[in-house]
Amino acid sequence: MVKIFISGGCKSGKSFHAQILAKKMQQKNVPLYYLATMVPRDNEDLQRIKKHQIERTGWGFETLEVSKNISSVLKKCNTNGAFLLDSVTSLLANEMFPENGIVVPDAPEKLSCELTLLSGKLNNIVFVSDFIYSDAAFYDTLTEKFRKGLAFIDRQLAGICETVLEISCGIIIVHKSVPESAENSNHYYH
């Protein structure tokens, strides 16, 4: 069983690298799932989704669109499969800012619980999230609540995953990995 958490900036290459890792996790005769969480809000989102779809072509992914209630995939999937969840950031945005315009302030805690449950039920999963913490800009209260909520979820996932990677400009930074003595150690991110 392998659990990997990847964080990085926009267009850093984290989604493509996550695909490689998920494919390596796939055992013979089990499915490879891509859990797509983005709800497109504009043309840029549509272009990003199309780019990711093109990148996945021929890899054998079964794509499931899951914009909310991520634990619902447990009823739809073979839990022995390999999973790629892209992205935690979009999932939180969907849960915290539903289309009805009402903000759900406890969405980070709810989503953290769901992702922890999901991680416990699935054998192999790669979580992708966005690193949105290092700029020096000041944001409004609601944006800060979102950033703090995502940071909370990311810390939870980093705690339960054996491998934690950051991708910056295509460079892979290993923050946490399985011990050298562990079976198959390090081959997932070389």
139-171 pLDDT, tens digit per residue, is 889 999 999 999 999 999 999 999 999 999 889
Dihedral (CA of 115, 120, 122, 128) sign: positive
- Topology (CATH level 3) of domain 8-167: Rossmann fold (3.40.50)
* pLDDT confidence tier of residue 125, bands split at 50, 70 and 90: very high
The residue among 70, 104, 72 whose CA lies nearest residue 87 is 70
Could you tell me if 121 and 70 are in contact, meaning their C-beta atoms sit under 8 angstroms apart?
A: no
Backbone angles phi, psi at 166, to 5 degrees: -120, 135
pLDDT tens per residue, range 42-101: 888 788 878 888 888 888 999 999 999 999 999 999 999 999 999 999 999 999 999 888
What is the chain's length?
190
- Indicate if the pLDDT at residue 132 is higher than 50: yes
Mean pLDDT taken over the chain: 89
| The two three-digit tokens of residue 179, written as one number | 């011990």
Pairing of strands 82-86, 32-36: parallel
Residue 189's pLDDT is: 44
Burial class of residue 9 (count of CB atoms within 10 Å of its CB; 0-12, 13-18, 19+): middle
